[in-house]
Amino acid sequence: MSTLKPLRLDIVSDVVCPWCYIGKRRIENALALAKEVPVEVHWQPFFLNPWVPREGISREEYLTAKFGSVEAYKGISGRVVAAAGEEGLTYRPELVKRQPNTIDCHRLIHWAEAKGKAAEMKQRLMELYFRDGGDLTDIDVLVQAASECGLDAEETRRRLSTDEDVAYISVQAEEAASKGISGVPTYVFGQKYAVSGAQPPEQLAAAIRQVSAEINAQAAE
């Protein structure tokens, strides 16, 4: 059993951010590379598009507002699709028909964390959105995803119909922004060092080892 003090790793990201989708796979590969280091992962919310209303908007309206036109995004998306494919992930932007506000997704991830299923919930929502073109504004889609990750379907439906944890998630996301986090994913190691962007697994693994060594050296003094 490891005698190392566990390293806290906070991952600030959003479920509709394609580089967060890629970055999740890369940090998982990094954790496998540095498996000798005990790490406690905490998923933190971020609103990539806080201006999108709770009910969501059409993908066409979103792409036009953010990139100028649907065609303009096609030129950008090719690189992201290729990067996802290199990680064994599928991104089919042509299937996405609705752009969601992600506060309900972050609520599901928060509730799943109580069951130790936060990473699984995050992965499921990302797959629904990027791979399957799922509508994350549809409560039936969200309830089904939650059920697949071990949450009670009826309880989840009831909780989603309320404002439970809306303020909590909003405050967390605002805190991240107030700390200067503007690009995601951002990995915060030991609540001290932040690395932004979907960096290669080898680089993330090196950061895990380095910060863990520093924290444990300080603990031994």
Residue 144 lies in a domain: yes
Over residues 27-45, mean pLDDT: 98
Q: 57: burial class by Cβ within 10 Å (0-12, 13-18, 19+)?
A: middle
Residue partners of 123: CB distance under 8 A and separation at least 6: 24
In the numeric block, the tokens 């992965």 are attached to 123
- Check whether 1 has a pLDDT greater than 60: no
* Total count of domains within the chain: 1
Query: What is the mean pLDDT of the segment spanning 26-36?
Result: 98
Q: Domain for residue 1, yes or no? A: no
Q: What is the pLDDT of residue 220?
A: 81
Do 82 and 88 contact (CB within 8 A), yes or no? no
Q: How far is CA 172 from CA 22, 32, 35, 167, 179, in A?
A: 23, 28, 29, 9, 11
Residue 51 near residue 84 (C-beta atoms within 8 A): no
Residue 2 covered by a domain: no
Q: Tell me, what CATH number does 182's domain have?
A: 3.40.30.10
Q: Which residues pair with 9 in a beta bridge?
A: 41, 189
- Domain holding 147, by residue range, is 7-220
Instruction: Tell me if 6 sits within 8 A of 184, measured CB to CB.
Output: no
What's the full length of the chain, in residues?
A: 221
Question: Is 66 within the bounds of a domain?
Answer: yes
| Separation of alpha carbons 83 and 211, rounded Å | 27
Predicted confidence (pLDDT) per residue in 140-174, tens digit: 999 999 999 999 999 999 999 999 999 999 999 99
Residue-wise pLDDT for 132-146, tens only, equals 999 999 999 999 999
CA dist., res. 175 & res. 78, Å (int):
32
Tell whether the model's pLDDT for residue 2 goes beyond 80: no
Confidence at residue 3, expressed as pLDDT on a 0 to 100 scale = 84
